[in-house]
Amino acid sequence: MSQVEVRNVTKRFGRTVALDDVSIAFEDGGFFALLGPSGSGKTTLLRTIAGFHFPDSGSIRIGERNVEKVPVEKRDIGMMFQNYALFPNMSVAENVGFGLRVRKVGSAEETRRAREALELVQLGHLGDRRPSQLSGGQRQRVALARAIVTNPKVLLLDEPLSALDKTLRVDMQIELKRIQREVGITTIFVTHDQEEALTLSDRIGILRDGRIVQAGPPREVYNRPVDAFAAGFLGEANWLSEGALAGLTLPADPSGRRFATRPEALAISAAAPAPGMNAVRGQLVQRVFAGAMATCLVEVDGQPWKLIARDRDIPELPGDGAVWLAWAPQDTLVVPA
C-alpha cells in the first residue's frame, strides 16, 4: 500500500477556486475522512487524487510516484461511488471481476480473486445473482469488493454509505472498518456525516472554501478545534457569552479566545451544582425523549444551549423551567477568537 501526499494543490473551475493551495498527507494504511459543508472542496480533492481532475498547480504523490498528470486508469486506485455503479446485466461475480478483466487477467485468476473478494465482504454465496436481486447493503458490499479486487494502492470512497437507511448504515460502518483493517489499504473517504467520520476514521480533515481548516486524529480535532467553524462543524458547541464567563474556572486566559462546551459534557439539575464545577443558570425550553437518550434545550443569556444525556440520568425538572447546567472546568473548549 502507499502514502498519499498532496502538496500546494490548487484547482479552479472557471472563476471558482475549488481547491486553494491544499497540502495534506494520508498515511500508509490509514483510514482518513474528508469532511465539510457542500462546496467546501472535499469531493474535488478526492476526485483530483483519483485523476478525474488535474490540478492547476501543485503535486500529488502516491507512494514514490508523482501522479498529478497521470490519467485515472494508471493511478492504481480503487474507487467506490455513491450510487455503486454496478452493471445490471452482469452477475455479482462478473461485476467484481470487471476490473481484472480490463487488466487482461486470465479467467481462472479472475474467478479466484473475485471469489476471494466476495468472501472478504461475506457475499461468497451470492456470486451468481444479479445486482437487482440484492439488498442495498449487499450492493454496497459488491461495490466495495469490486474496488479492492485489483489490490490497489489506495481506496477512495465518495459518500459510500449515504444511500443506506440508518440501521444498515451503522452495521456497514462496522463492516467497512473491519474490511479496511483486514486489507490494510490506505483509505480516503468523503462524507457529510460528522458521526460517521468520527466512527470510522483514524484521521479527519475538515475543509472550508477549498482549504484545509484542521486535520488530525478525531479525538484531537473534536476536543481541540482550531476555530469556531471546526468546533461547530464537527459536533455541536454551546458558546459562552462574555457575560457568562464571570465566576467560571477557565483553562486559559480569556483574551483573544472564545469558550464553549459540548452538549454531552453538561449535567442538568434544579439545584445548584457542587463546588468546583462550572455552571450557568437557564430556562428549560424543551425536553425531547429519543429512547435511551434525551435532548434538553435551555435558554442561557438569551442563547439556546443543548444538552444530550441518557434519559435516565436526567432528573425530574421543575415546572417553572429554572435549571442549572454544570460541567467540569476541563471540559471547556478553548478556541481562538
The whole-number pLDDT of residue 75 equals 92
pLDDT band at 1 (very low <50, low <70, confident <90, very high): low
Mean pLDDT of the chain: 92
- Per the CB < 8 A criterion, the answer to whether 171 and 178 are in contact is no
Q: What is the pTM of this model?
A: 0.89
Instruction: Kindly report, residue by residue over 258-314, the tens digit of the pLDDT.
Output: 999 999 999 999 998 989 999 999 999 999 999 999 999 999 988 999 999 999 999
Task: Note the pLDDT of residue 91.
Answer: 95
pLDDT of residue 165: 77
How many Å from the N-terminal Cα to the C-terminal Cα in the chain? 41
What percentage of the chain carries pLDDT values higher than 90?
A: 71
Cell representation of residue 102: 480490463
What value does the mean pLDDT take over residues 233-253?
A: 88
Mean pLDDT of 81-88: 82
Pairing, β 57-62 against β 303-310: unpaired
Question: Higher-confidence residue: 165 or 121?
Answer: 121
Contacts of 219 (CB under 8 A, 6+ apart): none
Query: Would you state the cell numbers that stand for residue 79, as one nine-digit string?
Result: 474507487
Listed by start position, the domains of the chain span 4-232, 243-336
Query: Which residue has cell 460502518?
Result: 173
Contact between residue 36 and residue 197 where contact means Cβ atoms under 8 Å apart: no
Stronger pLDDT, 281 or 1, i.e. the higher one: 281
Grid cell at residue 287: 425536553
The CATH class for the domain spanning 243-336 reads: mainly beta
Higher pLDDT, 112 or 136: 112
* Predicted confidence (pLDDT) at residue 181 exceeds the cutoff of 80: yes
Instruction: Grade residue 6 by pLDDT with cuts at 50, 70 and 90.
Output: very high
Q: Across residues 23-51, what is the average pLDDT?
A: 95
Identify the bridge partners of residue 295 per DSSP, sorted by sequence position. Answer: 288, 308
Residue 331 binned pLDDT confidence (cut-offs 50, 70, 90): very high
- Give DSSP secondary structure letters for 29-66: T-EEEEE-STTSSHHHHHHHHHTSS--SEEEEEETTEE
Give the dihedral sign, CA 133/119/105/100.
positive
Q: Please give the full DSSP string across 193-243, using - where no structure is assigned.
A: -HHHHHHH-SEEEEEETTEEEEEE-HHHHHHS-SSHHHHHHSS--EEPPGG
Q: What is the mean pLDDT of residues 181-208?
A: 92
CATH architecture of residue range(s) 4-232: 3-Layer(aba) Sandwich (3.40)
Within 10 Å of residue 312's Cβ, how many Cβ atoms?
A: 9
pLDDT of residue 104: 87
Q: Which residue has the higher pLDDT, 170 or 125?
A: 125
The pLDDT of 39-51, averaged and rounded, is 95
Q: Which residue has the cell 440508518?
A: 166
Mean pLDDT of 44-61: 96
